[in-house]
Structure 1
Amino acid sequence: MMFDNSKLSVYVFEDAIVVKNNKDFTKQFPRCGITHIESFVLDMAKRGKLDDLLC
């Protein structure tokens, strides 16, 4: 799966992980003790949970 024009920014807060695309649409997930942020975001992308953020 390739998304040439897609860029996602990930913001990590104490209680939430926020994923934002280049059009300023965001999606928020509860942190719930997640420490491996890259793996979490990759898993969410694979499951289709971030499809609406991809251009």
Structure 2
Amino acid sequence: MENSHISALSAKHAGLEARIKAETSRPMPDDILVASLKKQKLRVKEEMGGRH
């Protein structure tokens, strides 16, 4: 059960990273969106670290 939760968090983390990269590669990235995505990614990373 624990590994599946970490796997799900890892997938979510990777998805957020991809969205951040896609947004920042646009000609006029939405800085507020990027900041929000980065905060979400950090929360996921913290949760992954707290589960080990």
The normalised TM-score by structure 2 is 0.31
Q: Tell which structure's C-alpha radius of gyration is larger.
A: 2
Provide TM-score, normalisation by structure 1. Answer: 0.29
Q: Between Structure 1 and Structure 2, which shows a larger proportion of strand residues?
A: 1
